[in-house]
Amino acid sequence: MSDKSFLTAQGVSVTLAGRVVLKDISLALSPGHLVALVGPNGAGKTTLLRALAGLVPAAGAIHVGGEALASLRLSQRALRFAYLPQGHLVHWPLPARDIVALGRYPHGATDPARLTPDDAEAVMRAMRATDVVELRDRRVTELSGGERSRVALARVFAVEAPVILADEPTSSLDPRHQIDVMKTLRAAADRGTLVIVVTHDLGLAARFADTILVLSDGRLVSQGAPAQALCEQVMAEVFRISAFRAEYQREAVIVPWAEI
């Protein structure tokens, strides 16, 4: 494992309801990187994301910032991981700023209406980073899908955790908002955060990620830079497709093209 790795897993396996979902996963991930976690449906992507944050029981060893995850209290884990689950639905008619302020809960801010100056500034930084400042007084239930996704992302940013775990943050969004969300996460990685994104969009993964992890049937079968991790053999054996490959504006272009 690299000395610069911040989040490591060694021999991690997860069994849920009697079924082995993850099998012997080992990885080492560094700050300042955007990591895309890809694979077919049922490969174990969400389970791996949740295991890394300690949200599901797992065998093996996980370390974050040099500390064993198992030794950390829930409150300590909440300061190290900011988690955006699938769907990120909000059913309460709260102002967007109050939803974002929920990200300060791990820091002790239990009432969005009574934030300390430090918490209030963290909320504002998160809203600026996701371009939702103008939405702060609007009820989140009245926002468009793209606006809600940015508010949900702002809540995650407000935690100011060293690791962001985002589970399919671009699903159900139109192409413009998909690119917007990925650019925002890319910017967070460029500022030093370790960002791990589960996605089915191999094109977005290839364009924005430094590293791609490919899961298949609960195993980590490929990892590395996009062109390496999503090589023709992996595309054929894991995804059962061929892909168009190119480079545009110095960025990798990988477009799923045909079934095999």
Read off φ and ψ for residue 233, nearest 5 degrees: -65, -45
Residue 4's contacts (CB-CB under 8 Å, 6 or more residues apart) are 30, 31
Structure confidence at residue 2 (pLDDT): 43
* pLDDT class of 4 with cuts at 50, 70, 90: confident
Complete domains list, the chain, with CATH: 7-231 (3.40.50.300)
Structure confidence at residue 34 (pLDDT): 98
| pLDDT > 50? residue 93 | yes
Helices 117-129 & 145-158 angle (0-180, nearest 10)? 140
* SS3 state at 10: strand
Rounded to two decimals, the pTM is 0.93
* pLDDT class of 89 with cuts at 50, 70, 90: low
Amino acid at position 183, single letter:
K
Structure confidence at residue 212 (pLDDT): 97
Structure confidence at residue 1 (pLDDT): 38
Q: What is the DSSP letter of 139?
A: B
Residue 31's contacts (CB-CB under 8 Å, 6 or more residues apart) are 4, 6, 162, 192, 193, 194
Q: What is the mean pLDDT of residues 113-133?
A: 94
Q: Say if residues 52 and 7 touch (Cβ distance below 8 Å).
A: yes
Other C-beta atoms closer than 10 Å to the C-beta of 250 total 5
Structure confidence at residue 115 (pLDDT): 94
Q: What is the mean pLDDT of residues 127-149?
A: 92
For strands 7-16 and 19-29, give the pairing.
antiparallel
What mean pLDDT, rounded, does the chain reach?
93
Instruction: Please tell me which residue, 90 or 249, carries the higher pLDDT value.
Output: 249
For strands 59-64 and 7-16, give the pairing.
antiparallel
Q: Say if residues 103 and 131 touch (Cβ distance below 8 Å).
A: no
Structure confidence at residue 129 (pLDDT): 93
| pLDDT > 90? residue 86 | no
Residue of 165, 172, 231 whose CA lies nearest to 202: 231
Instruction: Name the CA dihedral angle for 156, 9, 58, 228, rounded to a multiple of 10 degrees.
Output: 80
Q: Give tens-digit pLDDT for 198-233.
A: 999 999 999 999 999 999 999 999 999 999 999 999
Q: Say if residues 135 and 166 touch (Cβ distance below 8 Å).
A: no
* pLDDT class of 49 with cuts at 50, 70, 90: very high
Q: What is the mean pLDDT of residues 159-166?
A: 98
For strands 211-216 and 241-248, give the pairing.
unpaired
* pLDDT class of 171 with cuts at 50, 70, 90: confident
